[in-house]
Structure formats: C-alpha cells, structure tokens
Chain A
C-alpha cells in the first residue's frame, strides 16, 4: 500500500507540475503585452512598470516559470492587474460560495440518482427502468444553462417561489442561502443526477450478475438482505469514484451556472477575470481548480485502493 501511495503521489506531483506549466504558458499566449492589454485605457507608465516587474515579466521565460512555481508553492499567485490585491486572497474568498453550491448539487444529485439507479437495475426492463433511462438520457443532453433559464422562468417568474439570482452566505442567513441556492443547485444537480443514475444502474446490474449474488439467493437469503449486504456494498465502491470526480469537476465547471444566477464563486470570478483581462486572477483560479481536481482524484484513488485491494497490484 505504501508503494502504491508513493507512486500515486509522484504521478500527481508530475501532473501538477505540468498543470502549472500550462497555466503559466497561458499568459505567454496572450497576443501583445498582457499588462498593457489588461490596463487598457487606464494605462500609466508607473503602474505598467510596477505590474510588469511584480509579475516578473521583465525576466527570461525559464526564470519566470521557476519563480512562478516557487511562489505558487508558498501560496503566492501574484497580484490582480485590476485591483492590485493578492490573487490567492481573491480566489480563496470565492471558494466557499462554489463549495456550498457544488456540495448541495451533489447531495441533491445523490438523493435523486441513488433510488433511481438502484431500483431501475433491480427492475431492469420494467417501465420504471425505461423512465429512469429516459431521465438519464435527458440529463446528459440538456444544456444546464437552458434548464436554469427555464427554472428561473417557472420558479421565479411564474410561481415566485425562489429569487431568480443572487447569493446570501450560509453563515449569515441559512434560510436566505437555502432559497438562493435552490435553483442553481437543482439545475446543476439534475445533470449530475442523470450521470450518476446511469452509472449506479450499470454498476448494480453488473454485481447482480455475479456468482456470489446467485449463491446468496440460492441459500434462501431474503431479497432485501441480498440487495443490501451483497449487491449494494459491492456496487457502490466504484460509485464513490464517480461521485468524487463529479464533485471535483463541479468546483471548476459551474462557470455558466454561476454567471446565470449571479453566484459569486470561483466560476464567476473566472468569467469576470476573462472580461476584465485580469490574467493573474484567471491563472490563479484555474490553477486552484485544477489542483483541487487532482487532489480529489488522488484521495479517491487512495480510498478506492483501501476499499478494493485489487487496485493496488495493478
């Protein structure tokens, strides 16, 4: 197990280094001078020189990259071209909003997908199974922002049950937060639920076909015991991975929903940074999201190896 952990840590470290290189090179791809582009009409020589030197743009490229990685390791992701504030601070203050939205969406998705996936596998070929499959096909095909717009139209416009957009911090007003998070979380959650339903269904179906399940049934165990003790316990191990990967991708992939619902998370920050051409903030947000994504994947792999010893020897 120790060897497996070390190997996975090394792999993740290499990939993370590659991620920093891609993020670093993004700034180099900007046509023209990124600081000049970012300053636009607010250009003045003093600010220009200060920002260029703070971003290390007056150094040769390899030196720039080495210092970018070195500073990133200490948590320094540079300063915003717009506000002059540290990027790490700006990104971290947006993280709670994204986390609360992503976690709520995944919890909602699990509440929908778990019963749907398990029941449709247990009643494979039934009307319920077909309905669940239609739902999952619908979910993977529907644009989440379209569903969000339709949600705003129905629940905010026609019924007036929820605010159409905006954000209230969970720590300030839990009820206000819940009413604001409902529409975006359900919008994201339904798409995630459709992916999870499909996966849970096929995972349960696969375990149902195993010999040990047939043996358990042959010994005369009640169906409930067979399902809970033998089928679900084994079928849900791979589901853990998919849930975690979905959560990780939501941390960075809900840009459109955050923009639509004016949700001040990392996605919205990325969008604002693109609009303002604030490249250090854009780089910082992307680097943080990719690092989180890698970290979640690493943790899941380690957890998975602990749950299923066959993984370690592969």
Chain B
C-alpha cells in the first residue's frame, strides 16, 4: 500500500501550493524553523544581557522590539524562544501521536474488551479540560520544559487514539485487509503495512492542528510559570513577566503574544488546507458540492 501514501503526499503538496492561505502559513512556518534553528545566531543581542541603563525602552532602530524590565533586548528573546515552542510542539505531539496511534490501532483492530477498556480510559482523559489536566500533571511532576512536554503529550493522546480507531474500524473491513489475513500475515504486519498507510490522511491533519494547540498550551503553561523556567526565554513566560508593565511598556506584551499568534495561525492554516485536501469527508455537504462544481 505504499503507492497510496506517495500519491497522497504528492496530491497534498500540489493542492497546498495552490492555496494562498496555506502558502502563507507555510512561509511563516519556514521562518519559524529558521528562527528556531538559528535564533541565537540571528539575535542582535545576548538573550540574558542585562543592562539597567536601557530598561523598558520602547522599540527603536537599536532595539526593534524594545527592551524589558532588565534592559534585555526583546527581539533577541522572541527569536530564541521560537526554539522552545517548536521543540514543545514537536515532542509533545510526537508523544501524543505515538501513544494515541498505538492505542487506537490496537483498540480498533482487536475490538471487543480491549477496545472497551482502552477507549473508556481515553474517555476518562477526555473528561478533563485540556489545560486543567496539563496544569495538574505539571504541578505534580514539577514545573519545567520536560514535564510540560509530557503533560501536553498526555492530554492530546485521546484525540489521536479516537481518530486512529475510527480510521481502523473502516479500513479493517476492506477487501485488501481480509486478503492479507487470508494470506496468513501477522496482525502487526497487517497493521503496519495495510492499515496504518490508509489512515495516514486524517492523522496528518490531526498532527498539524494539534501542533497549533500544543504550542498554545505550552504558552499558557509558561504564562502560569509552569513551563520553561527563567532565565531561558519562552513566549508565554515573557508575557507573564511583562504583564505588570503592560500599561507603561506595551511592547513587552505585544511582541511575544504576536509571535504565538502567528505561529498558531500558520499551523492552523496549513492544517485546514491539509484537511480540505486529505480528508474531504470533514467538509460540509455544500462545501463539497461547491468544490466539486
């Protein structure tokens, strides 16, 4: 079934290239990755260069995003913090993807009591508001980047499990799966070679949208002081530190927040475009009709 996967990705790339919003989102993401990889090198000043003589300076040519309450260059900190957001997004969604897909595969493939037990466990996790559960996990394990990533990974696992299970339930009834069973292929081989490639489309869409939510969740945790710890910069933490000065120094609140917004928007734009291309069942009836016309 690998040919299916290739044509899916080619189709997705071509369609994404034609969608101006997806291209805009993609450009922002490329810039973000550049900032994430080379932020320290691109930053005009050191992220922890404290200078009380230049504290709370408004944006200027020397400091385009101004300086904070310790005189540190806000642009440099915003650039370097991109790495944290990308890292949290990638690792936490990676955890959720791995755990959720594994659980959903087994639940959907074997059904019966295993399905019941696994999906009820997912229902339990779903009963908690996302941020509240993440806060609780971080509170117990201790604040920090690593625990924030684990917490966000755990709270987004159920959605991947549900998406995977729903896909498996429809694919396992297909003729090619039954044929594979008849040839004596092992369950693991069938899942890996025949089921997984055929449920890749909704998973790719879910991954893109979850990256947006994961970055938003990390920003919220950092805003509460439970994510990245100072002096390392994180957008949410910068907003938290700057909130006391917001009426006197608007730039402290504006730029880190704008960075979060643009990043999340970019992932959402790409995710929406991917969904339109890869998962047309998600479209409303009339949208599908209009697209067909």
Contacts and interface: CB of A to CB of B under 8 A. Distances in A.
A282 B286 contact: no
B63 interface: no
Interface stretch (B49-57, B137-145, B173-181, B199-207): B137-145
Interface in B269-293: 269, 272, 284-287, 289-290
Contacts of B264: 141-143
Interface residues of B, number: 52
A293 B129 contact: yes
B169 to A, nearest CB: 14
B188 interface: no
B220 A208 contact: no
Contacts of B121: 18
B71 interface: no
Given A29-B141, A205-B284, A256-B131, A157 B136 contact: no
A243 interface: no
A206 B220 contact: no
B254 interface: yes
Contacts of A138: 265
A265 interface: no
Interface stretch (A109-117, A146-154, A302-310): A146-154
A252 B140 contact: no
A156 interface: yes
B130 interface: yes
B220 A145 contact: yes
Contacts of B290: 124-125
B139 A274 contact: yes
Contacts of A205: 284-287
| Most A CB within 10 A of own CB, among B120, B124, B254 | B124
Interface string A182-213: 00000000000000000000100110110000
Nearest to B21: A137
A206 B285 contact: yes
Interface in B236-270: 236, 239, 242-243, 246-247, 250, 253-254, 256-258, 260-261, 264-265, 268-269
| Most A CB within 10 A of own CB, among B140, B246, B254 | B140
Nearest to B256: A146
Contacts of B138: 274
A107 B220 CA distance: 24
B212 A259 contact: no
Interface in A127-169: 137-138, 140-143, 145-146, 149-150, 152-153, 156-157, 164
B246 A152 contact: yes
Interface of A: 11, 14-16, 18-19, 21-22, 26-27, 29-31, 124-125, 137-138, 140-143, 145-146, 149-150, 152-153, 156-157, 164, 202, 205-206, 208-209, 249, 251-253, 255-256, 259-260, 267, 270-271, 273-274, 277, 279, 282, 286, 289-290, 293-294
